[in-house]
Amino acid sequence: MRRPIRSFIVITLSLVMVASAVIEAGAQTRRDRRARSREVIESLELFGKVYERVARSYVDEVDPRDLIETAIEGMLAELDPHTALLTAEIYDELMVSTQGEFGGLGIQITVRDDYPTVVSPIDDTPAFRLGIRGGDQIVEIEGESTQGWKQTDAVSKLRGTKGTAVSIGIRRPGQAQILPFTIVRDIIKIESVPHAFLIDEEAGVGYIRISNFARTTARELQDRIVELESQGMRSLILDLRFNPGGLLQAAKETSEIFLEKDDLIVYTKGRLAQQNMSYYATNRGGSKWTSRPLIVMINGSSASASEILAGAIQDHDVGLVLGQTSFGKGSVQTVFELNDTEALKLTTAKYYTPSGRSIHRDRSHEGEILAENGDDLEEAVDEEIDNREIFYTDAQREVFGGGGINPDLDIEPSLLSNFAVALERDATFFHYTNEFATHNPQPEPDFAITDAMVDEFWTLAQGREDLPGFFEDMEVEFTRELFDENRDYVEEGIRREISRRFWGSSASYRVSLERDGQVWEAVDLLRRAKSQAELFRLAEERRMQKLAEAKATKAEDKSAAN
């Protein structure tokens, strides 16, 4: 009996010690909380005293609201770039971009020649039905001149509640008088998946562009895939370049289209327990994508939800990621409403891809790297890349954490020449199309660019007041010889803008892809790959070839320098 009693005493003492430790830890936690509460109260008291003294005694009278907003902005600036106070205007824009619809007229506008100008009306909208055209200048809104307005100024006046009317004055190329329009606003739907087509019909290569992740993205994408499958699509390019992201839920739903049931899509970790979440594919099912060739395109402007989708597809070996390293926004923001018009967008968690990597890029020291390394910046970046943590996909392929999603195949983008940049900055193609549409009937969809059209464009370009200055800034002389050397680009630009004017943005977009080297690298791979496995094999061969070419070039440069 003694041994059990002794054991009982030992166990009891152990439990008492554990309980005491727990009680002490709890007491310490309560002390820490009380100390923190005192710090908060003291800090708020200090802020109140400073605010009151400035408001009352500063040499110039200050707006109390401006003081508070400036103080808030200063506080949030110390946190991270994605935490911000959302004013009424910014909050409204955020809601529009994520909800995918707004009340308005149905026009895409930009500022041209000091006035808001219609780029293109959106099909089946109030503006489209009333005959608003690309190139129309909006010179008046509700009787007020719009000269010198910013794009945001015009947008805020044109948007509004469905069923309300707005009066505008239009100056149309080729017509002297101002044309009055009164347009009744309607619900305008924003396409999250604006472009989808067979980019190579013979090979059955589909192309789909996702511009952002909104409430409707997954449904739009699924509809586009079904449409392309009915046209004979056998492989797909999913273009996420320049996609800034959007809703986490939209990224989750979109990923489910390509993943199999119960595949992990992404998980988040935050300071609070409710921020620790794991998201799995549920009932959408992407079993057909386990064999069908898929390429996801990303670049340095692909962020947030784009990186969730690309990371999930890469980690589960569902598709090949091609392009350039993504932005590296691996954090989650929650929007807290503060009042009827304002909100706080606050970073509350970080997200991780299925393999466990955080792709968040710390940008706080980029300036230091640049300052310290100067001409050796490329080597410093390479060294940083070499030191990244390695993770593994389902198929045990190496992927990296700590700096965006790295593509399986790195392809440099096609860059505009100085000649092209100058023409685009001056909107020369846009202005030429205005003249063309004024004096010519609508061409056939497969129209060809004639010598006469090129000469007309040259004459118009010579007369543009700002164009010579653009070329001078780049230390380039705008001559006919230079113009003729770039004729291919001139013809493409003319076709692009005429296509936009007469057949809409999708027709124009297809023309713009003709010189997109990254897209055609993807198309070439999919033309040759009959299966997912073959796609990965071809991409690895191409990657090794590019490494050998880069090594040979570096050796040649080093030899020439010596």
Classify burial at 220, counting beta carbons within 10 Å of its beta carbon; exposed 0-12, middle 13-18, buried 19 or more. Answer: buried
CB-CB contact of 394 with 309 (8 Å): no
Q: State the Cα–Cα distance between residues 275 and 45, nearest whole angstrom.
A: 31
Q: How far apart are CA 424 and CA 512, in angstroms?
A: 13
Q: Which two tokens stand for residue 535?
A: 């796609």
> In the prediction, which pLDDT does 417 show?
86
pLDDT, tens only, 326-364? 999 888 888 898 888 888 999 999 999 999 999 888 766
Helical spans, DSSP H, in 148-260: 151-158, 217-230, 248-256
- As a whole number of angstroms, the distance between CA 65 and CA 73 comes to 12
Q: Decide: 120 and 504 in contact? Cβ < 8 Å.
A: yes
Give the residue-averaged pLDDT of 386-410. 89
How many angstroms separate the CA atoms of 397 and 390, rounded? 10
Q: Predicted confidence band at 432 (pLDDT cuts at 50, 70, 90)?
A: very high
Q: Is residue 107 predicted with pLDDT exceeding 90? A: no
Long-range pairs for 519-524 at CB < 8 Å and ≥24 separation? 519/199, 519/207, 519/237, 519/239, 519/297, 521/322, 521/409, 521/411, 522/237, 522/295, 522/297, 522/322, 523/199, 523/200, 523/203, 523/205, 523/237
CB 137 within 8 A of CB 114: no
Q: pLDDT at position 191, please?
A: 87
Residue 454 C-alpha from the chain's centroid: 35
Separation of alpha carbons 120 and 137, rounded Å: 11
Model confidence pLDDT, tens digit, residues 223-245: 999 999 999 999 999 999 999 99
pLDDT in the model for residue 369: 47
Residue 96: both structure tokens together: 């529009």
Kindly list the strands in the beta sheet with 409-410, ordered across the sheet, starting from the edge strand earlier in the chain.
195-200, 205-209, 235-239, 294-298, 320-323, 409-410
List beta partners, residue 198. Answer: 206
Active site residues: 304, 315, 329
DSSP per residue, 407-453: PSEE-PPPPPPHHHHHHHHTTHHHHHHHHHHHHSPPPPTT----HHH
d(CA 290, CA 283): 16
Q: Are 323 and 299 in contact (CB under 8 A)?
A: yes
Question: In this predicted model, which residue has the larger pLDDT, 31 or 521?
Answer: 521
Residue bearing tokens 């010189």: 515
CA dihedral sign of residues 462, 464, 470, 472: positive
Q: Could you report the per-residue pLDDT of 144-158, keeping only the tens digit for each?
A: 999 999 888 898 899
Tokens (6 digits) for 406: 């790295």
Residue 365 has pLDDT above 90, yes or no: no
Average pLDDT, rounded, for the chain: 86
C-alpha distances in Å from residue 470, one per residue of 260, 422, 493: 52, 6, 18
Helices and strands in the chain, H and E counts: 19, 21
Among 128-142, 203-217, 380-394, the least confident range: 380-394
Contact of 270 with 348, CB cutoff 8 Å:
yes
Span 173-195, pLDDT tens digits: 878 889 999 999 998 888 899 99
Among 161-170, 250-259, 467-476, the least confident range? 467-476
| Matching residue, tokens 């009055």 | 180
Instruction: Read off the DSSP letter of residue 210.
Output: -
Q: How many CA atoms lie within 13 A of 158 on its CB side?
A: 27
The mean per-residue pLDDT over the stretch 409-426 comes to 88
Cβ(213)–Cβ(246) under 8 Å?
A: yes
Q: What is the pLDDT of residue 325?
A: 93
Phi, psi of 90 (to 5 degrees): -70, -40
Residue 215 has pLDDT above 70, yes or no: yes
Distance CA 431, CA 464 (A): 10
Mean pLDDT computed over 85-105: 78
Give the model's pLDDT for residue 441: 92
Two tokens, residue 79: 């946190």
What is the C-alpha to C-alpha distance for residues 23 and 14, in angstroms, rounded to an integer?
A: 14
As a whole number of Å, the end-to-end CA separation of the chain is: 91
CA distance 391 to 532: 21
